[in-house]
Amino acid sequence: MKSPKSFNMVLYPKKTIAINGAIYNIDITHEQFLEEFMEWVEVNGWSFLGVTEVTTEAKASDDLLTQFKAEQEDEENDRNN
């Protein structure tokens, strides 16, 4: 009698993706956006951990530039240490 074949299963860990930015030019309320966003997240079997807020394009742009500058400073500090 042949012995059963064996195989190794490779399980890849689930990933986490951070989102830093803003969705602009929308014509629905924040609540409607959240409902649609969460539906999209859940349909894909994902979870969302974060905060959403109503903002302006200018503030979102400023926040993103501030974050980029902070990351560049951190990288420069790491290189110098």
Please give the model's pTM, rounded to 2 decimal places.
0.66
Q: Tokens standing for 61?
A: 């742009």
Is 68 a member of any domain? yes
Residue 13 is predicted with a pLDDT of 79
> Is residue 33, in this structure, part of any structural domain at all?
no
Cβ neighbours of residue 48 under 8 Å, at least 6 residues apart?
Answer: 37, 38, 41
pLDDT at 14: 85
Q: What is the pLDDT of residues 4-53, one digit of tens each?
A: 666 676 666 789 999 888 998 999 999 999 999 999 999 999 999 999 99
Name the nearest CA neighbour of 20 among 58, 56, 61.
Answer: 61
CB 67 within 8 A of CB 20: yes
Domain tally, the chain = 1
1 pLDDT more than 80 = no
Question: 80 lies in a domain?
Answer: yes
Q: For residue 79, give its domain range.
A: 56-81
Give a yes or no: residue 39 inside a domain: no
